A and B are shown apart, each in its own frame.
Chain A
Amino acid sequence: MSLQIMTANRLLGGGVVYFGENEEWTDHFASAKAVEDNDGAAALLAEAEKAEANQLIVGPYLIKVERNEAGLQPLSVKEGIRAKGPTVHYGHGTPANSSGSVSSGLVKE
């Protein structure tokens, strides 16, 4: 089974969150708890269900990831952008995320 982590959006703010190694929901992709067996995935789903019932998160789902020497990496462009924010600057010069041009920093499926 592939390495997976649990992600969702916060109910109140809408921001992207991950279920973390410390058993808390975190904004940081790198701190996500990764599992690679069915039991681990079931445990993440149970945590997500609990957090939904407690109005913490909305729309949870599992995503496949990869671990390399730099840590966890998303496997799709979409999850890379979710993790880091828009790749374009906006508003009063809010900078683009570091994945910037094309998909550097993102590992592809």
Chain B
Amino acid sequence: MYRYDEFDYDFVQQRVAQFGDQVERRIEGDLTEDQFKPLRLMNGLYLQLHAYMLRVAIPYGTFNSVQMRKLAHIARKYDRGYGHFTTRQNIQYNWPVLKDVPAILKELAEVEMHAIQTSGNCIRNTTSDQYAGAAADEIEDPRVYCEIIRQWSSLHPEFTFLPRKFKVAVTGATTDRAAIRVHDIGLAIVKNDDGEVGFEVHVGGGQGRTPMIGKVVREFLPKEHLLSYLEAILRVYNQIGRRDNKYKARIKILVHETGIDEIRRLVEEEWNRIKDTALNLPLEEVDRINDYFAPPTFETLDATSRSFEVKRFEDRGFATWVRANVVAHKKPGYAIANISLKPEGEAPGDITDDQMEVVADLAEKYSFDEIRATHEQNLVLPHVKLDDLYDVFLGLQEAGLATGNLGLISDMIVCPGLDYCALANARSIPVAQAISKRFADIERQYDIGELKLKISGCINACGHHHVGHIGILGVDRKGEEYYQITLGGNANENAAIGKIIGPSFAYDKIVDAVETVVNTYLEIRDGAEESFLDAYNRVGMAPFKERLYA
């Protein structure tokens, strides 16, 4: 796992000291709110509906037990005993007070954490595949390149005040679990015909009020040119991206209005000018960073485990959890264990301080001290021996963390919505809780199969509703909460933006509407093997619309 170097240490320490001074000056009245706001946003501090909110970075979603215990301690000491995992693999606290924030940042720095690049019009924390380094379908570990991008972008003077925020995601696997096609820049590690490894570069994807699927700007980029090519894209955006209209300032609008061919020409022109400069990635530096992500010392094990199979036979709850939450590992005898943060009736992504401690203990004991946060608001223990899975399950079960619903209808991405967020138009969490209760029967969820339901409380789309197989968008209709349904969205390598099915539904009708959509699918599917998305793609909107508005 990556560790701070001296440069990182000094940089974060300076930031903590600077922000402590800025908070003091704000409280003393030497800084106005207008002067202070951009400074607090550069340190992840928002002011929400009821309180400040601090968003803490977990670069590419990878962290360890010491860091998790620190997050638990912060939840306990400075907040209200819980944290909320976000769709950028970060964690946020909903109740810190201003005067405590410098102390929180100081405590985070003790465990090599911070809140930099979690807010503002900068290059945000790069996200990645939560199964990086463990997935069977991986070409290379994407976190190496996420870390290189982090080092390049954190203090880049040219890109501190971009027209808008800028999000990058990297996947190293053939299955896209990082939603790279709905990012400003999406990078897929690929092999070319000569067997060389490089990047397929996507640009101009995003959600929000104008959702777009990214377009391929370069089919194969040699690895050593990663930073020069990213810099060329950012330069073109920084120079001609719109700053006059916040709603048209993301690079997706520039790509859409300018056209991908012209964007490609401009990027390549700039790239050819800078590609053989200091931005060339020295391979020895790549190797050095690669060493930080060296695989753990896996044991040589049989591909199957008798004790695992016996427990799966004996304990139905364990079998259910394994069925949904356990994924094949690249090493025989190991597995990837997903921890769902979507128990029935709870707020998706929330976790208490005590639960954080349990996850930290399990990671330390059973997963080479590694934890991953996922953009779908869950956690992962990436390297668990099959022999140990039952003990992990029992530990999770005792802490209320053994819900076996990964990828099922109750495993929703949900933004904080109007219960917390100053921008929201409608509540998201209570809608998710009601859906989770309506579909509480796990056998029914299995019968429905893979179904990605995503809920946003406003058009900013933090809940990724555009790419939900079923998407729900909260809207304000004359002061009342209404909910629009979209169908057919998809965030993986076949990314698609969902289409609006029709008029929106009142708060007390939306769960019934979702159930009608699901029941329609169950009636029309071509056997249990046909997923919701496949059925929708086969039959289109008509049968769903007919049933919903009958």
Contacts and interface: CB of A to CB of B under 8 A. Distances in A.
Contacts of A76: 479
B512 to A, nearest CB: 14
A55 B28 contact: yes
Contact of B80 (A81, A90, A101, A103): A90
Interface in B320-366: 347, 350, 352
Interface stretch (B48-56, B150-158, B191-199, B222-230): B48-56
- Give the size range of B's interface with the partner: 35 or more
Contacts of B26: 11, 55
Contact of B51 (A15, A52, A77, A78): A15
A55 B49 contact: no
B529 interface: no
A90 B508 contact: no
Nearest to A52: B33
B419 A94 contact: no
A12 interface: yes
B478 A91 contact: no
Contact of A82 (B29, B49, B350, B508): B49
Interface string A77-94: 110011001111011101
A108 B476 CA distance: 12
Max chain B CB contacts within 10 Å: which of A13, A53, A86, A108?
Answer: A86
Given A13-B97, A108-B479, A109-B478, A88 B50 contact: no
A71 interface: no
B50 A78 contact: no
Interface stretch (B177-185, B425-433, B488-496): B425-433
A75 interface: yes
Interface string B414-426: 0000111000101
Interface in B14-71: 26-29, 33, 47-52
B52 A14 contact: yes
Interface in A19-77: 52-55, 58-59, 75-77
A102 to B, nearest CB: 5
B98 A11 contact: yes
A86 B96 CA distance: 16
A54 B429 CA distance: 36
A15 B479 contact: no
A25 B52 CA distance: 19
- Give the size range of A's interface with the partner: 20 to 34
Max chain A CB contacts within 10 Å: which of B29, B418, B479?
Answer: B479
Contact of A91 (B48, B49, B81): B81
B99 interface: yes
Given A14-B97, A14-B98, A15-B51, A91 B80 contact: yes
A91 B354 CA distance: 10
A14 B427 CA distance: 21
B508 A102 contact: yes
B50 A90 contact: no
A77 B479 contact: yes
A74 to B, nearest CB: 10
Nearest to A88: B429
Contacts of B33: 52, 58-59
B523 interface: no
Interface string B458-500: 0000000000000000000011110000000000000000000
B96 to A, nearest CB: 8
B81 A15 contact: no
A88 B430 contact: yes
B82 A78 contact: no
Contact of B419 (A12, A86, A102): A86
B98 A90 contact: no
B507 interface: yes
B29 A55 contact: yes
A82 B430 contact: no
25 contacts: A11-B98, A12-B27, A13-B98, A14-B47, A14-B48, A14-B51, A14-B52, A14-B96, A14-B97, A53-B29, A55-B29, A58-B33, A77-B427, A77-B481, A78-B49, A78-B424, A81-B418, A86-B50, A86-B429, A87-B430, A88-B419, A91-B81, A92-B82, A108-B479, A108-B480
- 8 shortest A-B CB distances, which residue pairs? A109-B479, A91-B82, A14-B51, A86-B419, A14-B52, A91-B81, A13-B97, A91-B80
Given A90-B80, A103-B481, 19 more contacts: A11-B98, A12-B97, A12-B98, A13-B97, A54-B29, A55-B29, A78-B49, A78-B424, A81-B49, A81-B418, A81-B427, A82-B50, A87-B430, A90-B82, A91-B82, A102-B507, A103-B480, A108-B480, A109-B478
